[in-house]
Structure 1
Amino acid sequence: MAASALRADGGFVLLDSQPRRTRWWALGLGVLAATGFQPFGLWPLALLAGGLFALIAARSGGWREAALLGWLFGMGHFTLGNSWIATAFTYQAEMPAVLGWLAVPVLSVYLAIYPALAAGAARALGRAGPGWAFALIFAGCWIVAEWLRSWVFTGYAWNPFAMVLLGPFERPGLALLAPFMGTYALSGLAMLLGWVLVALARARKWGLLAGGAALLVAGMYLPQPALRETDLALTVVQPDIAQDRVHEPAFYEDHFRRLASNSLPKTPGERRIVLWPESGMVDYLQEGYPQRYYDSTTAFGSPVLARRRLAGAIGRNALLMTGAVDLEIGEEDGLIRALGARNAVTVLDDKGDIVGSYAKAHLVPFGEYLPLRWLLEPLGLSRLVPGAIDFWPGPGPRTFDFGAYGKAAIQICYEIVFSGEVVEQGTRPDYIFNDSTDGWFGAFGPPQHFAQARMRAIEEGLPVLRSTTTGISGVIDAHGVVRQHLGMRVEGRIDGKVPAAAAPTLFSRFGNGLGLAWAGLALLAGLIALRRRAG
């Protein structure tokens, strides 16, 4: 270690502060901070890494150096946290699979801008060094940066740092604070907690450090709240359709068999909802398309007969919510054809009639559409989902009133990660249905995706019912506790009752404005403390 190492007054060395080596520290701390996410779940290590990063940002030579350190931290953090993206490239043939391992760091180059903004802004505002004032300012800046990441350029809200505070399946952990803060403010709190641990270690206050660590552990393992259920029965189906077979016509009937056999009523005539995943069923269910589209994918070449077959699988008094694809038909070059598609959930009653339809609003760039297609397609780039037409976005969150089957909000796949954007304002549902295809994303992506669905349940105080092709499917109550689940690469069904919704949360009323208010309070408190210390 260099002579200029970061020390407490007693000489306790924490980090090397020589500029070149400090940059390597920032990169490495970003990697360590990502181990708090699933499937690792090493939240103590993540908190310490976050606190140490805040410390070296505070001791940097100025805001430019702090921003560089933030960018390096983000590079390490997002490269590990998003490594599952590389796996998606192995399930398409239009581009070399090796591009996946290039795509992850390229994406991280952009995402790392947000930790850079947080660190640079905090260093500019809290320029007096690593005190409590800086810690509060840093937390406030981190909140704002994560909020920006969630919507700038359509947003990429995957893995906010708050996810390290989510407990194991049977316990909400410190994420139980999310109803009062929102996810992005909880991220700022996580960074602040890491700072506290590091500050106590630097000051050699071992008793306080041990006490604080004990409180953190107690918070992460608080007993689960009592389960409250409604009288509405549910069946969640997980067909375990391998990703490389999803779009293969030779397996379409096998897909239906798996879905149907796991959907048959155990109690004939019972009122229940049946939930099928995204991409499990390939039939076009809407009418009015040119016949050639039905002939290529739809059972009996008829959307009416296909819907009746689905109704027969669920039985009397059941309501089916299934992933589907809808087409936008129009004329181009004198030919009536599909101009675009919608990633949809179609809702059918027990007669096969369509009683509701939702189209995905948050589409995945390069997954469901190719940005700047006119430029990138001639260069050999393509989207990951097969097909020559792009998906079109839907209008956004909606609440569907299905009468005796409850009020449902629907979020398709990736949409569930967007804090504050999963429920239609002013029309509170009884539950959220999240269908997904997670077979693209290897071992890391599905548990991270499931964890973020849990966070939405906690924030909104609403149960989340999740059906996926290959896992993880589950029933999550309004406190984020996983009441039942099916793991990865398992075929099966979950039967039970829909958990009851909690009372509307503070976050459900104010959305991300609540998190920004916490950011403002943290910044104000930090700036006041800074001014008093200067005075």
Structure 2
Amino acid sequence: MRLALAASWWFGVGVGIASLFWLAHAFSFQDAMPPWLGWIAVALLSAYTALYWALALGLAHAVTRKASGISFAVHASAGFMIAEWLRGIVLTGFPWNPLASIWLDAPHVAQGAAVIGGLGLSGVTILLCGLIAAVTRGDSLRPLIATIGIITAWLAFPQKGTVADTSIPISVVQGNISQSDKWRPGEADAQLMKYMALTKAPLSNAPRLIFWPEAAITEPLDIDLALRRQATSALSAQDLLFTGAIGTTENKGLTNSVFVLDADGAILVRYDKAHLVPFGEYLPFSNILGRLGMSRLVPGNTDFIAGPGPRTLNIRKLRAGVSICYEIIFPAAVIDPENRPAFLFNPSNDAWFGFGGPQQHLAQARLRAIEEGLPIIRATPTGETAVIRSDGSIAARLPAHQAGRLDAFLPSPADPTQYSLWGNAIPLGAGIIVIAIAGLRRLRRNHRA
């Protein structure tokens, strides 16, 4: 057991450091947080996420001691799905970089997420790895036969065709505004003018949906009509602007919000981010950590106020869901299931994270598109800005660190997927049942002994 826990934990640490290195870059934008602290944060977060690898493999070892390699593979898969689900909810959750992301360049495999989600697809990946490991150790031919059987069945599973795009024109704007400039005093007007210039109407007069990134406007938008009218002066008469901006609450708190504005600057609907980023949008345990010199990575000392959660915005016969930045990484928590939207808008600010983080963030948005059967419009200030179809494929994409605008047509939603109806019940239920049966068998054997 000690060997199983140690090996899996150290492996998890290595995976964490290799894939979370971009987090250190975020510490270079806050004077109160020295840059070297970022690498400590990477190491600590990697050590924490590695605990879930240790939990998964340790649990499998505990219930399959002295069993065959194929048995260990099955139970490692089950334990991994349970551990990954816990990683997504404990301490507000951090389900970043699910293992299922590796299949996005193999669309036939990735489409399985529409049934069993990224959680289930990650479990299948562990199962295949375990079976291959059993084959290389020469346990028997059974793991090889099982591996071939699973791959054959997966490839034979019928795939849905790509749904045709709608006729609704969209424009997604990327301002290429770096994080070091974003909150600099006196820069707000110049940045707004840049977004307006990139938004300027094309030759076609068809009404557009226009998307700006998270916090494209860094002032409270709901209390400033003049600012709203200035922002929408680049719109044609029937255009709608979806923009990230700061909002206010009745108690004078601040929110990270998306506002939908018409060409006159009127607020049609609004969404306030619900799943806030620890240390980014609020400082957890602020009474303790504040005294130790810790602060948020975002400038300012006021924590953001969380909104009520996923909701569908009904605008001119359109049904839009919104997941701001970090919210898109939480499976089965991005839409209102009682009022399914036709698409998701995912404004984000990935300028914090240099190289690595934005690409991983885009991959997770693609997984959500497959799981929910919904297109996702992703707007960021420096990349990765993209239009994602409901099958997870990328319809259009802007190069990173380049100002520009994507002009495309709004992709259509697919029919509700099995995952959108059942969420994690299928993979998590399967994992719990497999581990529970193995545990009961082990207890029975011990009792007989």
1:237 and 1:274 in contact (8 A); partners too = yes
Q: Does 1:384 align with 2:384?
A: no
Q: Does 1:271 align with 2:207?
A: yes
Amino acid at match of 2:200: L
Partner of 1:292: none
Pairwise CA distance, 1:517 = 2.2
2:162 and 2:391 in contact (8 A); partners too = no
Pairwise CA distance, 1:71 = 1.8
The 3 A distance-change label for structure 1 pair 423 and 329 is: closer
- The partner residue of 1:319 within 226, 232, 240 is 240
Distance in structure 1 (CA, Å) of the matches to 2:68 and 2:41: 36
Structure 1, unmatched stretches of 5+, are 1-61, 288-302, 331-337
Amino acid at match of 1:276: W
Distance in structure 1 (CA, Å) of the matches to 2:313 and 2:50: 38
- Greater Cα shift, 152-161 or 511-520: 511-520
Partner of 1:284: 220
Partner of 2:355: 443
The 3 A distance-change label for structure 1 pair 78 and 86 is: same
Q: How does 1:474-493 map to 2 (within 5 A)?
A: 474-493=386-405
Amino acid at match of 2:256: N
Partner of 2:127: 192
Q: How does 1:377-456 map to 2 (within 5 A)?
A: 377-404=290-317, 406-456=318-368
Once the two structures are superposed, residues 268-322 of structure 1 have per-residue CA deviations (whole angstroms, 9 ceiling, x without a partner) of 54222100001222232112xxxxxxxxxxxxxxx11111112211221111110
SS, match of residue 84 in structure 1: helix
Distance in structure 1 (CA, Å) of the matches to 2:227 and 2:132: 59
Partner of 1:54: none
Partner of 1:293: none
Once the two structures are superposed, residues 477-511 of structure 1 have per-residue CA deviations (whole angstroms, 9 ceiling, x without a partner) of 00000010012101111111111100000110111
Distance in structure 1 (CA, Å) of the matches to 2:42 and 2:342: 37
Partner of 1:335: none
Structure 2, unmatched stretches of 5+, are none
Amino acid at match of 1:313: A
Partner of 1:341: 254
Q: How does 1:2-21 map to 2 (within 5 A)?
A: none
- The partner residue of 2:416 within 490, 501, 504 is 504
Partner of 2:70: 132
2:163 and 2:413 in contact (8 A); partners too = no
1:241 and 1:280 in contact (8 A); partners too = no
SS, match of residue 144 in structure 1: helix
CA RMSD of aligned residues (A): 2.8
Count of equivalent residues: 443
- The partner residue of 1:355 within 253, 268, 271 is 268
Pairwise CA distance, 1:522 = 4.3
2:323 and 2:334 in contact (8 A); partners too = yes
Distance in structure 1 (CA, Å) of the matches to 2:330 and 2:86: 12
- Identity of counterpart residues, as a percentage? 39
Distance in structure 2 (CA, Å) of the matches to 1:529 and 1:265: 67
2:215 and 2:256 in contact (8 A); partners too = no
Distance in structure 1 (CA, Å) of the matches to 2:316 and 2:115: 31
Distance in structure 2 (CA, Å) of the matches to 1:421 and 1:324: 22
1:311 and 1:350 in contact (8 A); partners too = yes
Partner of 1:370: 283
Partner of 2:378: 466
Pairwise CA distance, 1:365 = 0.7
The 3 A distance-change label for structure 1 pair 502 and 224 is: closer
- The partner residue of 1:237 within 173, 180, 197 is 173
1:133 and 1:525 in contact (8 A); partners too = no
Pairwise CA distance, 1:458 = 0.2
2:63 and 2:435 in contact (8 A); partners too = no
Partner of 1:300: none
- The partner residue of 1:73 within 1, 6, 11 is 11
**TM-score normalised by L of structure 1:** 0.77
Amino acid at match of 1:324: A
Pairwise CA distance, 1:108 = 1.8
Distance in structure 1 (CA, Å) of the matches to 2:58 and 2:422: 29
Pairwise CA distance, 1:224 = 9.5
Distance in structure 2 (CA, Å) of the matches to 1:486 and 1:273: 17
Amino acid at match of 1:239: G
Distance in structure 2 (CA, Å) of the matches to 1:237 and 1:213: 46
The 3 A distance-change label for structure 1 pair 246 and 134 is: same
Pairwise CA distance, 1:524 = 6.5
